[in-house]
Amino acid sequence: MKDFLPICSEDMKKRGWDQADFVYVIGDAYVDHSSFGPAIISRVLESRGYKVAIISQPDWKDPESIAVFGMPRLAFLVSAGNMDSMVNHYTVNKKLRSSDSYTPGGKAGKRPNYATAVYCNLIKSRFKGAPVIIGGIEASLRRLAHYDYWSDRLRRSILLDSGADLLLYGMGELSIIEAADALASGLSISDLTFINGSVFKTRDPSFVQDAITLPDFDALQKDRLEYARSFYIQYCNAGYATAKPLIEKYGENRYIVQNPPQRPLTTMEMDDVYSLPYMNAYHPSYEKEGGVPAIKEIKFSLTSNRGCFGACSFCALTFHQGRIVQVRSHESLIKEAEEMTKDPDFKGYIHDVGGPTADFRRPSCDKQLKHGVCTDRQCLFPKPCPNLKAEHADYISLLRKLRSIKGVKKVFIRSGIRFDYVLADKKGDAFIEEICRHHVSGQLRVAPEHVSDNVLRLMGKPENGVYREFIRRFDDTNERLGLDQYAVPYLISSHPGSTLKDAIALAESVRDMGYMPEQVQDFYPTPSTISTVMYYTGVDPRTMEKVYVPSDPREKAMQRALIQYRKPENYELVKAALIKAGRQDLIGWDRKRCLIAPRQTAGERSKAAGEKQGKAPSGRPSANSAAGKETKHGRSPKGGKNKR
């Protein structure tokens, strides 16, 4: 009979356990769903016969809060949760967030800053000598020296700050079983230096063969350019088939060693992972607090793939899931979808079928599975590689099967499609028609990110012309089909390389689209991305060329405000930005060209109030005229056609 894993000693007794093999301490609420990393790891261990107990969001000020199950037989496992705890806590402006979707009732403040390190130190203080293994996104992306935006400094490997004994990076299914089996066989955790996808500490790394020695931590602190060089070595060693061990020195005789990544999962292994007996719900003990908000978006979504060869500079997937796409079979996904339809809360809508990029359903080329990814070129950037196999037939077939399931009304694609990959497919127009007919409900989310080709180059994104061509085909398809649908662009402000001139060009592009995008993200320097290295060092680590970095809070606010220039609360910032950039020509009454109008004086406002609705003095549009208002859902007055 399916059930949640134990969360208290009474649960453990009901199962007849005297001791758990692993006690898993997590920073999120306990949600037993395959979109939550701790759920996958705990169920994978359970499938191999290991007893796993869960301690969710312990009181980090009380050592007894992690003593619920006593000492585990093999080890404590620790994860901050599905997000880095600092991203979870703070906005890009370093202000505390008011809610936490991964906590019962959405309450903020239920986990500490730098949660992985805090939990580990709590365990070590309560259980002397207890083996501790860390994993999850926070540990994975902080495994070596890294820039920490919130303290604005370079931090050591999280293995040192946490006091943990072993770090498993990446998705972790293969490495956790290897570690568990080794511990169960009697090996000490200090002996686990051989596991791919792991990072360990040592006083003497001479036994590590064929390794690359990175600049030591002292050198990184003294010279930011050294950090840029070190990071790029790491970036080029992220492929499982080609990577070598990396050694990073701290002080006189402390070393952190990163083993090469684990291999990708096969389709059969992916199917096995997602067929485990998840409850697909949050623990019932949270019901009285209103449940866990994070499950709402993913409960009726399907994960069809992992990994991404898109190589966006601001994304950490290269360091976490890798560049090789791994997929589930149609049969596995259909079975999960059929189970969804039996849920009393299912209303007929599958919210997503995707992953990091929805339309990636195979490795980018046939050579990858044998030889791994290239270290000296990308698959899509700056142009699609000649070896790229761009095709959507398998994804179209999958979507057709899913929407034919009894009880399914609509299948959405919300994790986004890679528009340059669509254009690289010789049959890409057929895919565009398929999604327009069946998988778009008024809006298609796409991520051009910017319009400046210089900024896009630094982002690792295709030139703006590629996006414009995709929009042309998308619009033409909708027009031919008689559908009123449009693309909603996701945009990033203040990315390294973006000047005020670039931000204004982006605002002008928004003006020409005819509606204001709702999805705007000020660049957030999270650990272990190329963009974050640019932000910290002022250079692109791939080329070592200098990069302009908009780090001043005032300028960052201006760049963000420019994208949403129509919002009244952004007026003063937009005006200041235009004046600073010498673009006063964009302040005026020409609705087709100008971003903002001059503010009226009190006398002018009084006079305008007495005029008839429709025309103000001197031919100026009144605030109530149709042309001066936002239309429903932010659409342009022409029914949502994406202007270029």
Under DSSP, is residue 326 helix (H, G, I), strand (E, B) or coil? strand
Task: Write out 24-56 in H/E/C secondary structure.
Answer: EEECCCCEECCCCHHHHHHHHHHHCCCCEEEEE
Q: Give the relative orientation of helices 393-403 and 330-340 as an angle to the nearest 10 degrees.
A: 30
pLDDT at 516: 78
pLDDT at 610: 59
* Residue at 566 is within a domain: yes
259-300 confidence digits (pLDDT tens):
999 999 999 999 999 999 999 999 999 999 999 999 998 999
Residues 61 and 192 in one domain: yes
Strand partners, 349: 410
* Residue at 144 is within a domain: yes
Sole residue written with tokens 């792991």: 198
Residues 430 and 447 in one domain: no
Name the percent of the chain lying above pLDDT 70: 93
CATH number of 629's domain:
3.30.750.200
Rounded CA gap, 273 and 36, in Å?
12
pLDDT band, residue 609 (cuts 50/70/90): low
Q: Picking from 35-49, 225-239, 296-310, 607-621, which range would have the lowest pLDDT averaged per residue?
A: 607-621
Strands 352-354 and 31-32: unpaired
pLDDT of 553 above 80: yes
Residues 331 and 410 in one domain: yes
pLDDT band, residue 583 (cuts 50/70/90): very high
pLDDT band, residue 494 (cuts 50/70/90): very high
Nearest to 117 by CA among 68, 151, 94, 93: 151
Rounded CA gap, 642 and 487, in Å?
7
pLDDT of 640 above 60: no
Mean pLDDT, the chain, whole residue set: 92
Residues 432 and 472 in one domain: no
Rounded CA gap, 558 and 575, in Å?
9
**pLDDT (mean) for 252-261:** 96
Residues 405 and 337 in one domain: yes
CATH number of 371's domain:
3.30.750.210
Element containing residue 61 per DSSP (H, E): none
Which residues, including other chains, have CB under 8 Å from residue 191's CB and lie 6 or more apart? Answer: 182
Rounded CA gap, 47 and 178, in Å?
14
Burial of 78 (0-12, 13-18, 19+ CB in 10 A): buried
**pLDDT (mean) for 554-573:** 95
Residue finishing a domain among 381, 404, 436: 436
Strands 326-327 and 305-306: antiparallel
* Residue at 284 is within a domain: no
Rounded CA gap, 30 and 104, in Å?
9
Rounded CA gap, 255 and 262, in Å?
21
Under DSSP, is residue 345 helix (H, G, I), strand (E, B) or coil? coil
Rounded CA gap, 129 and 56, in Å?
22
161-213 confidence digits (pLDDT tens):
999 999 999 999 999 999 999 999 999 999 999 999 999 999 999 999 999 99
* Residue at 213 is within a domain: no
Cβ contact 574:566 at 8 Å: no
Rounded CA gap, 123 and 134, in Å?
12
pLDDT at 339: 96
453-468 confidence digits (pLDDT tens):
999 999 999 999 999 9
Residues 564 and 606 in one domain: yes
Rounded CA gap, 593 and 287, in Å?
53
Residues 137 and 167 in one domain: yes
pLDDT band, residue 625 (cuts 50/70/90): very low
Residue finishing a domain among 381, 412, 436: 436
pLDDT at 606: 60
pLDDT band, residue 639 (cuts 50/70/90): very low
290-320 confidence digits (pLDDT tens):
999 999 989 999 999 999 999 899 999 888 9
Quick one: how far is CA 95 from the chain centroid?
A: 20
Tokens of 599: 């503010």
pLDDT band, residue 600 (cuts 50/70/90): low
* Residue at 290 is within a domain: no
Cβ contact 382:416 at 8 Å: no
Residues 337 and 469 in one domain: no
Q: What is the pTM of this model?
A: 0.91
Residues 372 and 502 in one domain: no
Cβ contact 558:504 at 8 Å: no
- What is the sign of the dihedral through the CA atoms of 179, 182, 185 and 186? negative
Tokens of 344: 């009393």
Rounded CA gap, 247 and 233, in Å?
11
* Residue at 222 is within a domain: no
Task: Write out 95-164 in H/E/C secondary structure.
Answer: CECCCCCCCHHHCCCCCCCCHHHHHHHHHHHHCCCCCEEEEHHHHHHCCCCEEECCCCEEECCHHHHHCC
Residues 525 and 624 in one domain: yes
DSSP of 198-264, one letter per residue? EEEEES--TT--S-EEPPPHHHHHH-HHHHHHHHHHHHHT--TTT---EEEEETTTEEEEEPPPPPP
* Residue at 206 is within a domain: no
Sole residue written with tokens 């020509």: 585
Amino acid present at 334: I
Number of domain units in the chain: 3
Residues 455 and 413 in one domain: no
Cβ contact 344:351 at 8 Å: no
pLDDT at 608: 56
Nearest to 574 by CA among 588, 594, 559, 585: 559
* Residue at 227 is within a domain: no
Q: From residue 585, how far is each of 98, 286, 507, 592 by CA, in Å? A: 39, 56, 14, 12
Residues 74 and 111 in one domain: yes
**pLDDT (mean) for 15-19:** 96
Q: Residue 514: left if φ>0, alpha if ψ -120 to 50, beta else—which one?
A: left
- What is the sign of the dihedral through the CA atoms of 97, 99, 101 and 107? positive
pLDDT of 611 above 60: no
Rounded CA gap, 273 and 265, in Å?
10
CATH number of 22's domain:
3.40.50.280
386: domain range? 300-436
Residue 339: phi and psi, rounded to 5, are -65, -35
pLDDT of 565 above 60: yes
Name the percent of the chain lying above pLDDT 90: 85
Cβ contact 492:521 at 8 Å: yes
Residue finishing a domain among 413, 436, 459: 436
> Which runs of consecutive H residues, i.e. helices, occur in 514-619?
530-537, 553-563, 571-580, 602-609
